[in-house]
Amino acid sequence: MDEKHLEDHFNEKIDQDVRIEPKDWMPDHYRKTLIRQISQHAHSEIVGMLPEANWISRAPTLRRKAAALAKVQDEAGHGLYLYSACETLGVDRDTLLDQLHTGKAKYSSIFNYPTLTWADMGAIGWLVDGAAIMNQVPLCRASYGPYARAMIRVCKEESFHQRQGFEIMLTLCKGSDEQQKMAQDALNRWWWPALMMFGPTDADSPHTEQSMRWGIKRFTNDELRQKFVDVSKPQADLLGIKIPDPDLKWNEARGHYDFGEINWDEFYNVIKGNGPCNKQRIDARTKAWEEGAWVREAASAYAEKKTKQQAA
């Protein structure tokens, strides 16, 4: 079949919501976009382990410690599912990790912010995981089979993350004055970065149209951001803490909350590498990978020896 014919067939499948599978023909641009999108997501999961892993040793109760460990471990699992999905597109994990370590690949910029108090564990679970879920649930229907299947696993596991985060916030908000202050302070610091997680405005997001056409993006950035604001405001009210946005108010005509302008300078600065923790995060990942090299080599060498012994 010629290229034109193959492409028509591909588009037909997309239109009929038939999943694309690894060995199916796909346009090169589709493959590249998917690799970029899935690997960015995978990188976000494993870089995202770091700010929370910070607090595992300091979790205030054993129950919280177990939940924190399980949660950060899930993120490792999610990274792994997504790297695996990416490998079906013909690029191996080592290559992807190399792109992360050398700064060629991006990851969600929210993880370049520091976790300063225990309340940040609550705010991350509630807001960051909340925003992530909003982004991810539609991707369970992504057009690429392995990606969609990975996202189904991710979303299934992710639901406990947001709940545990909200529970932490709730406990703090019902607690002492200091704890309430801690919760408010965390909301103040995480709110705007959480809104930025949905990416640039639709007007500044040139790839959205193509990605939606391909079924690897199901809603626009602004649609998802609005949805997030709409569900978060009543939750903040329930907690009794205040979202740090003087322009946030209900718009009866739109049936949505209006909200203030995002500081896009900050957004692009953090993406460019100037966030508070960009360097620490990449350094930590690179260090783990480089210091693990001898471990991986040892296991390979051992496996090879054993195979030879069995053959002999």
Stretch that binds another protein, among 63-71, 123-131, 207-215, 268-276 (CB under 8 A): 63-71
90 makes contact with another protein (CB under 8 A): no
Q: How far is the CB of 146 from another protein (least distance, A)?
A: 8
Nearer to another protein, 73 or 274 (CB): 73
Stretch that binds another protein, among 79-87, 134-142, 193-201, 250-258 (CB under 8 A): 79-87
Contact set for another protein, span 158-177 (CB under 8 A): 168, 171-172, 174-176
72 makes contact with another protein (CB under 8 A): yes
Stretch that binds another protein, among 129-137, 183-191, 192-200, 303-311 (CB under 8 A): 303-311
Q: What is the 3 state secondary structure string of the chain?
A: CCHHHHHHHHHHHHHCCCCECCCCCCCHHHHHHHHHHHHHHHHHHHHCHHHHHCCCCCCCCHHHHHHHHHHHHHHHHHHHHHHHHHHCCCCCHHHHHHHHHCCCCCCCHHHHCCCCCCHHHHHHHHHHHHHHHHHHHHHHHCCEHHHHHHHHHHHHHHHHHHHHHHHHHHHHHCCCHHHHHHHHHHHHHHHHHHHHCCCCCHHHCCCHHHHHHCCCCCCCHHHHHHHHHHHHHHHHHHHCCCCCCCCCEEECCCCEEECCCCCHHHHHHHHHHHCCCHHHHHHHHHHHHHHCHHHHHHHHHHHHHHHHHHHC
Of residues 10, 30, 107, 118, which one binds another protein by CB under 8 A? 118
76 makes contact with another protein (CB under 8 A): yes
Q: How far is the CB of 60 from another protein (least distance, A)?
A: 4
Q: Which residues bind another protein (CB under 8 A)?
A: 1, 21, 23-25, 46, 49-50, 53, 56-66, 69-70, 72-74, 76-77, 79-81, 83-84, 87, 92-94, 118, 149-150, 153, 157, 168, 171-172, 174-176, 178-179, 284, 287-289, 291-303, 305-307
